[in-house]
Amino acid sequence: MMQSIVRRFAAANGTGLGLATGNGRFLIPALEAGLDVQGIDNSPAMLEICQRHATESGLDVMLHEGDMAPLALAHRFHAIVCPAGSFSLITDEDAALHALTSYREHLESIGRLSITLSTEGPDDTTHFGWRMRRTGTNRVSGNTFVVDEATGKDVIPQVTLTYNRVETYDPAGHLLGTEIRKVRTRWWHRDEFVAALRDTGFADFKLLGDEFGWVALAIRQWAALTTRSSLGAKPGHACPRWPHGRGKLTAVSVFRPQ
């Protein structure tokens, strides 16, 4: 996945922007590959970690503290890349469409958009039962983190609610603390997402991958736009061109301990 994200930045042949850049997991390898990329995240703490990783690797990086929904930067980019399902953190449908419109407005004339979403099958949630997600041991402190998760349907249609329970143990195995994090992520059908891209001014769509993990690629369209409202959908109602309504596909993104 890492290499394909770097390739997507490279294909832009210009300046790239990584949305929800987090700790720089994707941005740092792109910088190391000599690419001109910037990052945006709304968490100062995550940006600080990203900056530290860049500094430790001897790299200069331009990071923006700000929202990706919508994007409001004073720059245009040749590529905007949203990896690892972070777009699904935008759970409100209208906010997601507004965000896509803002990405179009931040792209150069042949600018490329790349958004990775993943899909859960019908049995993939735990119906709010706990399952182990991952563990890890900090090399410096020796503390071990155990992350369990419980997922299920949120009250908002097409949104998954994930609880992450993070337990921290000292090297002797004593529990130091427990933290619960709650994350909501929005499900998208593949053709629903393509319709959203079309309606917000993108063209030349490609969907790579299968329904359990796919990347939507598109370029900025310069012709006149057909908006959802002009297609007859009212705010808060399903667009008639989106055949499946609400339902099956889920995009999941889970916060990781840094």
Ligand X SMILES: C[S@@+](CC[C@H](N)C(=O)[O-])C[C@H]1O[C@@H](n2cnc3c(N)ncnc32)[C@H](O)[C@@H]1O
By CB under 6 A, name the one of 69, 196, 197, 216 that touches ligand X: 69
x-marked contacts with ligand X along 27-56 as a string, rule CB under 6 A = --------------xxx--x----------
Q: What is the DSSP letter of 224?
A: P
**202-210: strand order across its sheet:** 62-65, 37-41, 16-19, 77-82, 107-117, 213-220, 202-210
Comparison of 15 and 162: residue with beta carbon closer to ligand X: 162
By CB under 6 A, name the one of 79, 84, 100, 150 that touches ligand X: 84
- Least spacing, CB of residue 27 vs ligand X, in Å: 9
Residue with tokens 């700790």: 23
Residue 10 CA to residue 34 CA, distance in Å, equals 9
- Least spacing, CB of residue 241 vs ligand X, in Å: 26
What are 83's strand-pairing partners? none
Q: What residue spans of the chain are helical by DSSP H?
A: 2-12, 27-32, 44-56, 93-105, 190-199
CA 84 and chain centroid, separation: 5
By CB under 6 A, name the one of 10, 11, 59, 67 that touches ligand X: 67
Closest CA to 79 of 234, 228, 220, 246: 220
- Least spacing, CB of residue 82 vs ligand X, in Å: 8
5-35 core/surface letters (b: 16 or more CB in 10 A; e: else): bbebbeebebbbbbbbbbbbbbbbbbbeeeb
Comparison of 145 and 169: residue with beta carbon closer to ligand X: 145
x-marked contacts with ligand X along 8-27 as a string, rule CB under 6 A = ------------x-x--x--
- Token reading at 42: 């709304």
Residue 210 CA to residue 93 CA, distance in Å, equals 23
- Least spacing, CB of residue 112 vs ligand X, in Å: 18
Selected range binding ligand X among 67-75, 199-207, 211-219, 234-242, rule: CB under 6 A: 67-75
By CB under 6 A, name the one of 86, 88, 119, 185 that touches ligand X: 86
Residues 101-120 that bind ligand X (CB under 6 A): none
Residues 163-182 that bind ligand X (CB under 6 A): none
- Least spacing, CB of residue 14 vs ligand X, in Å: 21
Binding site for ligand X (CB under 6 A): 20, 22, 25, 41-43, 46, 67-69, 83-84, 86, 89, 253, 255
